[in-house]
C-alpha cells in the first residue's frame, strides 16, 4: 500500500481525509485567515495549509473539483484539474472559479476540492518524421 505523508504548514490546517470508506478522494479544506468572497466570474487561489510527500515517483496527486460545489454553487477549479508531482514539497493551493452569477464565500475549513493519487506511465520521447498509420 502507498503511504501519503502530509505536513501542516499553516496553523489551523486540516489534514485531508476521505468522507466515507468508499471515497476515492481525500477532501481538501480551505486554510484561510478570514472569509474569501468570490464575486461572480472571479478566480482566486485558496491555501490548504498542507504539503504532501508522495513516495513513488510514478505516482502523482490530482486535484479535482467537488461535484457538490459545482452543481449546487457554481464553484469549479479554474485550472480544470491540478497536478501535484511526486517531487513537489510546497504547500498545496486550490485555484477556484465562481461560475455563478452570485457572490460565493469560502470559509476556513470548507471542503474546496478533492485529492486523488494515480499512477502514470513514465516515458521517453522520440521525435520522428512520420507516425505509423492507423485505420482512422
pLDDT of the residue at 78: 93
For the cut 90, the answer to whether the pLDDT of residue 2 exceeds it is no
pLDDT of the residue at 14: 98
Compute the radius of gyration of the chain from its Cα atoms.
Answer: 18
Residue 46 burial (C-beta neighbours within 10 Å; 0-12, 13-18, 19+): buried
Look up the pTM and report it.
Answer: 0.89
The strand pairing partners of 96, in sequence order, are 44, 77
Give residue-wise pLDDT tens across range 24-75.
Answer: 999 999 999 999 999 999 999 999 999 999 999 999 999 999 988 888 999 9
Is residue 86 within 8 A of residue 51, CB to CB? The reply is no
Is residue 7 within 8 A of residue 51, CB to CB? The reply is yes
pLDDT of the residue at 67: 85
Give residue-wise pLDDT tens across range 71-120.
Answer: 899 999 999 999 999 999 999 999 999 999 999 999 999 999 999 999 99
Is residue 95 within 8 A of residue 45, CB to CB? The reply is yes
What phi and psi values does residue 67 have, to the nearest 5 degrees? -60, -35
For the cut 80, the answer to whether the pLDDT of residue 1 exceeds it is no
Amino acid at each position: 500500500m502507498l503511504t501519503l505523508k502530509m505536513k501542516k504548514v499553516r496553523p489551523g490546517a486540516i489534514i485531508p481525509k476521505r468522507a466515507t470508506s468508499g471515497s476515492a478522494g481525500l477532501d481538501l479544506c480551505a486554510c484561510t485567515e478570514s472569509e474569501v468572497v468570490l464575486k461572480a466570474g472571479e478566480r482566486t487561489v485558496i491555501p490548504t495549509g498542507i504539503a504532501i510527500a508522495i513516495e513513488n515517483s510514478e505516482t502523482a496527486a490530482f486535484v479535482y473539483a467537488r461535484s457538490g460545489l459545482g452543481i449546487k454553487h457554481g464553484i469549479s477549479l479554474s485550472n480544470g484539474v491540478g497536478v501535484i508531482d511526486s517531487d513537489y514539497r510546497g504547500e498545496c493551493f486550490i485555484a477556484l472559479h465562481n461560475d455563478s452569477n452570485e457572490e460565493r464565500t469560502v470559509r476556513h475549513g470548507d471542503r474546496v476540492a478533492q485529492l486523488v493519487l494515480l499512477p502514470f506511465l513514465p516515458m521517453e520521447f522520440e521525435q520522428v518524421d512520420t507516425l505509423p498509420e492507423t485505420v482512422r
